[in-house]
Every structure is written in C-alpha cells, then in structure tokens.
Amino acid sequence: MPRKKNGFPYEIHPSPAKGEDGKNIVYAKPAKGLKMNISELDKFCHNNYALRSGELELVFNTFIDAAAEIMAMGYRIDTPIGSFVPKLALKREITDANAVKNSDVKLEGVDYNPGKRWNKAIGKWLFDGFRRVDNPNTQELMQDKAHLEEALKKSIKGGYTTVREFAWNAHLTLYSARKQLNAWTGGKNPKLMKTRMGQQDIYTEKDL
C-alpha cells in the first residue's frame, strides 16, 4: 500500500526501554527538518492571517520584555499560550532555613506549562491524520564522524549546546544525542564539558 502524501509527518524510533517481548519499545516523534523561525512565522501570519509585516515579531519581543519585568517582581503569568513561572534556587547547599540570606538565592530559569489549549488548537488542523516518513538510520549517523562534527558545529551557540539542539541538527534521537555528547566529555582530551543548569545539561566547548 502506498504511503500517504498528506498529514502530520512523523518518525518511529526505538527507546532504551525493553518491552515484554524483550525488544526495544518504539515511540513516535515529529519528522526531522521541519523548523520555522520567528521571522518566517511572522511572514506566514502576514500572508495568511492579515497581520502587518513585523507585527508578530514585535508583539513577541514586547511580551518577553514586559513578562520579564513582571516575573522579576515574583509574579506568575497566565496567558492563552500557557503559563510562565520564574524558577528560583539556592547558590549553595543549606540545611538551616533560618540561615538563608537574600544573596543565597538565584534565578534558575522559567518554567513553562503550555496547558491544554494547544492540543485543541492543533487538533483542529489534523483532519488528514498522521503520515509516517522514513527515519534516518541512527546507527549509520552515529558512525559518521564528519556528520557528527558538522552537527556539533551548527549546534554550538554562545559556546555551548544542549541535547535537544544537537539531536535536531544531527537527526538523532535524544537518547543517541545524549550518548554522543557524553562521549565527547570523556577521555584524556575531552572535546566538551558537561554542566547541569536547571533541569538540563549544557555542553560547553572545552577550549573556551
């Protein structure tokens, strides 16, 4: 039977977890290579939703500035696209609550909860269902050193990268991307240094 030509394109990948039959459990994820930046989204909205050119990008930039100012006051922000909550942490390990000083507290990031509105909004466009596409061969990609090096070069932004960013550029699963990045942190001459930041690891170029 020929494959569908319409629908949400997805890939099937094996996970590290084993099923009852002893084989790797597989999971679905959006197909690689489909990515739109804010300028392209702005143009799409201008052409299809009657927004003025540059308007969406301006709104996003204004929202980030305004939301950052409000969250710096300690507020949680609830919006139609989800909720934003400033996340705090302590700079050092402290067991006595009375010993915590203002200078011990740091901003660790922002937690984002998209809520359920996205499911409904995306769901109304899934009238063509889903469409499976051929996966890149993960084993072949992991053995292609030139490909991995080029993907790392594309992924390094500001001197560091993340598992998700590297996985996207290398066309790997998150598991395989993490495995490769961790491999680059080992040995006598490691290429990368891994640091925990919030809920994710960041990988920094060792020579920086």
Rg for the chain (alpha carbons), in Å? 21
Pick the more confident residue, 197 or 104.
Answer: 104
User: What was the pLDDT predicted at 4?
Assistant: 59
102, 174: one domain: no
Which CATH number goes with the domain that contains 184?
Answer: 1.10.10.10
Distances (CA, A) of 152 to 4, 82, 197: 33, 31, 19
Pick the more confident residue, 60 or 136.
Answer: 60
128, 150: one domain: no
27, 93: one domain: yes
Is 42 part of any domain? no
Q: Is the pLDDT of residue 29 over 90?
A: no
**How does residue 207 score in pLDDT terms, banded at 50, 70 and 90?**
low
Tell me if the pTM is above 0.95. Answer: no
126, 202: one domain: no
Establish how many alpha carbons lie within 13 A of residue 77's alpha carbon, considering only the half-sphere containing its beta carbon: 20
Residues 6+ apart with CB under 8 A from 45: 51, 55, 56
Q: Cα separation of 207 and 192, whole Å?
A: 8
115, 150: one domain: no
160, 117: one domain: no
Query: Tens digit of pLDDT for each residue in 82-131?
Result: 999 999 999 999 999 999 999 999 998 899 999 889 999 999 999 999 99
172, 114: one domain: no
Is 51 part of any domain? no
User: What was the pLDDT predicted at 27?
Assistant: 86
The CB density around residue 155, as the number of other CB atoms within 10 Å, is: 21
Domain that holds residue 122: 1-35+76-135
31, 124: one domain: yes
